[in-house]
Amino acid sequence: MRKNIVAGNWKMNNGLIQTKTLITELKQQKQTSDAEVMIAPSFTNLWHAFEETRQYPIEVVAQNMHFSDDGAYTGEISAGMLKSIGISTVILGHSERRTYYNETDEALAKKVDTALSQEIRVIFCFGEELADRKSGKHESIVENQIKKGLFHLKADAFKDVILAYEPVWAIGTGETASPEQAQDMHAFIRKTLANKYGQEVANSVSILYGGSVKPNNAKEIFSKTDVDGGLIGGAALNAEDFYAIVNAF
């Protein structure tokens, strides 16, 4: 059956000293849930984070990568580089990447292919903007993002794909989707997957919710049938808050 996952997206926060401190604090926390725990520090701290968490049930994952294997792409990081330091999961398509760096559905589909071909698992992010929700277009926007980013894959590839529904209006705003809104969308996503790949595949894929998940709302959101965990931004920068969320299952 699908796994519960809590992934902390550190975004562009924490230099080496802060990374060391936060990892030390994370290792002191007690995990009481069965959730898979992931953290995504910046590229410069991935190796340190990976080394420091080797003996712990914390997976270090990347926030992004390029779709090419190598070449003249100044400032970019390849799947092979991630693999070379032991990283085997990458976040792709975060709304901040889509918005600020113009990552298109087409580019993301290529990134997905590159990652999977190198045996790197993908946490594929998508979600509607506030105007889409207000105009009732949220489901069709999300359906389109999933289709364009993932529906060229074979069913078998979904064993290495995790979905993360993150309504843009809830990211870093303190405003969360209600547990019902999250459940409705997650059920819709699973139905969309089932229509294309069948119910068995749809049931096997973890669908995370992201957008202002905090210790005080995680339990209710995670209690919903189709919510299999969270992608956590702000609250992942504090070890106690992060583990309160990990343990909210």
List residues with catalytic annotation: 94, 166
Which of 33, 36, 39 has the alpha carbon at shortest distance from 53? Answer: 39
Smallest gap from Cβ 195 to ligand PGA, in A, equals 27
3-state secondary structure of 217: coil
- 210 binds ligand PGA, rule: CB under 6 A: yes
Residue type, 55: Q
- When asked if residue 9 is in the footprint of ligand PGA (CB under 6 A), the reply is yes
- Count of residues engaged in binding ligand PGA, rule: CB under 6 A: 13
Q: Does 233 bind ligand PGA (CB under 6 A)?
A: yes
Q: For the CB of residue 166, give the shortest distance to ligand PGA in the complex, in Å.
A: 6
* 213 is a site residue for ligand PGA (CB under 6 A): yes
Closest CA to 147 of 98, 199, 112, 193: 193
How far, in Å, CA of 210 to CA of 221, rounded?
10
C-beta of 234: minimal distance to ligand PGA in Å?
4
Q: Toward ligand PGA, which CB reaches closer, 197 or 229?
A: 229
Measured in residues, the chain has a length of: 249
Q: Detail the DSSP E strand segments found in 190-244.
A: 207-210, 229-232
The residue ranges that bind ligand PGA (CB under 6 A) are: 9, 166, 171-172, 210-213, 231-235
